Chains A and B, each alone.
Chain A
Amino acid sequence: MIAYIIRRLLATIPVMLLVAVIVFLLVHLAPGDPASVIAGDNATSDQIAAIRATLGLDRPLWEQFAIWIWRVLQGDLGQSLFWNRGVAELILQRAEPTVSLAITTLIFAVSIAIGLGVLAAWKAGSGIDRSVMGLAVAGFSVPVFVVGYLLVYLFAIELRWLPVQGYRPIAQGFWPWLERLILPSVALGLAYLALIARITRTTMLEILSEDYIRTAQAKGVATRPMLFRHALKNAAVPIVTVVGIGVALLISGVVITETVFNIPGIGRLVVDAITRRDYPIIQGVMLVFSAIYVLVNLAVDLSYTLFDPRVRY
């Protein structure tokens, strides 16, 4: 097990390096120049060139990459070009809202998706099944910002049940924290929910026709334990796999969600960084997100041993 974890972590090193190269190239080859942003509208080209030189942006691209990656390998994500702050420090400062949003979204999406998927599989072919699957298709195809604005309009502006936008740290109370996360979580989690509900239904449908389900029924097991104790545990591996893969949806959606709901998290940090071409921040955040994705999926693979006694590492 430990050996397996170490092997898997080592295997992620080339992947992360590749990610680093791609991220770096994307950021540096995209049009735009941080020096002219810093210098302002009335700056002369000499002034801009001077700023470029201080930032090291006049050096060849490979050299800039080498410097950056060398620091990253030592655990240093670099300095922001605009704030006199380290990138890691900036990310940590903005982490609480984003982590909060991720957790509430995960809990909301996974619990509802599994409930709906199990229900749809159990009632396969019925009206309930068709509406759940219709909802899943809709949830997957409507963009986050559309869902976000619709939710805000309905629940915040019309019904006034929930705040329109913003974030409160959990230190200021659980409910103020949660109430501002409900709508963003729904907006962000809907596509994720749809994905998990669908895999849950498909897998459960297959498992419900297995011989051991009939054995359970022949023992007199009632519907609920039949579904959740006998069937769902067998469906866990594919479901958890999709939960892990789907984290990519959350990562890409978090930027838009934080913008729509004005949440001062990492997503907003990166949006601001992009408009200013603050290269180290963009690179740092993308690297951190990639690492989270890789680690989540490693955790998912390890979790198989909890659900299936036949899996051994």
Chain B
Amino acid sequence: MTETAPILEVLDLRTHFFTQDGVTRAVDGVSFSLAPGETLGIVGESGCGKSVTALSILRLLPPKLSRIVGGRVVFEGTDLLTLHEPAMREIRGNRIAMIFQEPMTSLNPVLTIGEQIAEAVRIHQGASRKEALARAVEMLKLVRIPDAERRVGDYPHQFSGGMRQRVMIAMALSCNPKLLLADEPTTALDVTVQKQILRLMLELKERIGSAVILITHDLGVIAETAKRVVVMYAGRVVEQAEVTALFDAPLHPYTRGLMASIPRLKHNRTRRLAEIPGIVPDLRTPIPGCAFAPRCPLATDRCREAAPSLDDHGGGHFAACWEAGRA
């Protein structure tokens, strides 16, 4: 951890979905913090609340379906959850930007690439249409879109998936955000371009000096990019550590399961070596004990009765497991 004040502190965040068949505790008491310029990884299987965590930070969740029922999101000293919508809008795309998982659907099909990049610049920097467009061209060059001056007038359907994600990165970084939320930015892309895009994003982040929350379901990606990592399961943080410490000695059985399932690209392009058996629990019914117990090889009666708390097991390595560290 650095000495400086954190740029973002998420404290006991709880976000629930209210649907016809019950309340889903999608995020159920998540805490973590982030130093300026740091890259924090968030990993976990699909459905464990990673996207909802990121969307809660920017308050972009569907208001009719969901509500942030508790916690604080302190960004540069201000609790974002207390801000009015106009103040929140000044932060979105300006101080905090976001990149989404689906490049094919995340860009507006009827607006040009240039218009879409320029928009944030116009909104937040009061730039004229012309200045903003010049900035868009500059950003396209930065994300290495060839022939940027011409392509700025193209529409999304004229771009490939990888190119669109470059555009998303250009858009997100156009106002030099202090924090970038990257929600599985490469998951939907071809394996061959995944690495390029990730590297580009991290290189530009370094240049701009943004902190990044990199969300992924692939621990392999985290190993190469992040400094610290938060492991999520069923809406909660189950382990949190420096990347090296986590890979050297994972404490939570779930983390160990994720590690076993990292695809070994050298041997096999797509097949996972070992998925964790069982499925993510239904978050609509409160789980009395450890949410991982039904799938955990080490589970005991205690695990099923009482939920373990997230405790420091030394040197800032946190885990929420009664049997933490037992092989």
Interface residues in chain A, defined as those with a beta carbon under 8 Å from any beta carbon in chain B: 124-125, 209-212, 214-222, 229-230, 233-234, 236, 307-310
Contact = CB atoms under 8 A, between A and B. Distances in A.
Nearest to A212: B108
A219 B100 contact: no
Nearest to B97: A218
Contacts, number: 75
Given A215-B106, A230-B111, A310-B157, A220 B91 contact: yes
B120 A220 contact: yes
A307 B102 CA distance: 23
A222 B86 CA distance: 8
Interface string B58-94: 1010101000000000000000000000100111111
Nearest to A235: B110
A219 B119 contact: yes
A310 B109 CA distance: 8
20 contacts: A124-B64, A211-B102, A214-B60, A214-B100, A215-B107, A216-B108, A218-B58, A218-B100, A219-B92, A219-B123, A220-B89, A220-B90, A220-B92, A221-B93, A222-B123, A229-B111, A233-B110, A234-B108, A234-B109, A308-B110
Can you list the 10 inter-chain pairs with the closest CB atoms, starting with the nearest? A219-B93, A220-B93, A220-B92, A211-B105, A309-B155, A212-B108, A218-B98, A219-B120, A220-B89, A211-B106
A230 B100 contact: no
B295 interface: no
Contacts of B123: 219-222
A310 B104 CA distance: 14
A229 B112 CA distance: 12
Contacts of B91: 220
Majority-rule SS of A interface residues: helix
Contacts of A124: 64
A272 B157 CA distance: 55
Contact of B89 (A222, A229, A308, A309): A222
Contacts of B92: 217-220
Interface in B162-198: 168, 171
Contacts of A236: 110
A309 B158 CA distance: 10
Interface in B273-323: none
A125 B155 contact: no
A215 B108 contact: yes
B151 interface: no
A219 B60 contact: no
B124 interface: yes
Interface in B230-283: none
